[in-house]
Amino acid sequence: MQILQPIVHETVWGGSFLQPFSYSESESIGHLYNIIDSDQFNNKIIQGTYEGETLHDWFLDNKKKYHLDRFEKLPFLTALVEAADNLSIQVHPDDDSAKALENESFGKNESFYILKTPEMGAMYNGVLTKDKNEFRKAIEQGKTLNYIDKLECKQGDYVYIVGGTLHAATKGTITFEIEENCEHTYRFYDYDRLDSSGKPRQLQVEKALSSLKPELKSQSVPAAGKHIERMYWSEILEDREEVKNNTEVFFFAILLEGETQVKDLKILPGTAVLLEPGDTLILNKNRTVIVGPVVRRLNELFPISYVCESTQVDGRNRKLGVNMYFFIPY
**Residue that finishes a domain, picked among 222, 251, 270:** 222
52 and 201 together in one domain: yes
Mind listing the pLDDT tens digit for each residue in 4-30?
Answer: 999 999 999 999 999 999 989 999 999
Mean per-residue pLDDT, 127-136: 96
Helix ranges, the chain (H): 19-22, 55-62, 95-102, 132-140, 205-211
Note whether residue 324 is domain-resident: no
Mean per-residue pLDDT, 179-204: 93
Q: Provide the pLDDT confidence category of residue 328 given band limits of 50, 70 and 90.
A: very low
* pLDDT score, position 297: 52
More confident of the two residues 195 and 36: 36
* pLDDT score, position 220: 95
Mind listing the pLDDT tens digit for each residue in 29-71?
Answer: 999 999 999 999 999 999 999 999 999 999 999 999 999 999 9
48 and 135 together in one domain: yes
* pLDDT score, position 296: 66
Asked whether the beta carbons of 78 and 35 are under 8 A apart, the reply is yes
127 and 260 together in one domain: no
Note whether residue 37 is domain-resident: yes
Asked whether the beta carbons of 179 and 83 are under 8 A apart, the reply is no
253 and 137 together in one domain: no
Share of the chain above pLDDT 70, in %: 89
Mind listing the pLDDT tens digit for each residue in 79-110?
Answer: 999 999 999 999 999 999 999 999 999 999 99
**Residue that finishes a domain, picked among 222, 247, 273:** 222
Q: What is the tally of structural domains in the chain? A: 2
Q: What pTM does this model have?
A: 0.88
270: pLDDT strictly greater than 80: yes
Q: What is the CATH number of the domain that holds 91?
A: 2.60.120.10
Q: Provide the pLDDT confidence category of residue 312 given band limits of 50, 70 and 90.
A: very low
- Known catalytic residue: 318? no
Mean per-residue pLDDT, 187-209: 93
Note whether residue 328 is domain-resident: no
315: pLDDT strictly greater than 50: no
Distances (CA, A) of 228 to 98, 160, 211, 328: 22, 10, 24, 10
Note whether residue 162 is domain-resident: yes
The span from the CA of 105 to the CA of 87, in Å, is 26
Phi, psi of 99 (to 5 degrees): -70, -45
281 and 210 together in one domain: no
DSSP state of 200: B
139 and 245 together in one domain: no
Average pLDDT, the chain: 90
282: pLDDT strictly greater than 50: yes
141 and 261 together in one domain: no
Q: Provide the pLDDT confidence category of residue 275 given band limits of 50, 70 and 90.
A: very high
310: pLDDT strictly greater than 50: no
279 and 205 together in one domain: no
204 and 103 together in one domain: yes
Q: Provide the pLDDT confidence category of residue 197 given band limits of 50, 70 and 90.
A: confident
* pLDDT score, position 324: 35
CA-nearest of 11, 35, 7 to 21 is 7
175 and 78 together in one domain: yes
Q: What is the CATH number of the domain that holds 243?
A: 2.60.120
* pLDDT score, position 314: 44
* pLDDT score, position 300: 47
299: pLDDT strictly greater than 90: no
42 and 149 together in one domain: yes
Mean per-residue pLDDT, 303-312: 39
The span from the CA of 145 to the CA of 151, in Å, is 14
What is the Cα 60 distance to its own chain's centre?
A: 21
114 and 263 together in one domain: no
**Residue that finishes a domain, picked among 193, 222, 251:** 222
Mean per-residue pLDDT, 127-145: 96
Note whether residue 325 is domain-resident: no
Q: Provide the pLDDT confidence category of residue 321 given band limits of 50, 70 and 90.
A: very low
Range(s) of the domain holding residue 16 = 2-222
Note whether residue 42 is domain-resident: yes
Single out the catalytic residue among 70, 136, 187, 230.
Answer: 187
Note whether residue 329 is domain-resident: no
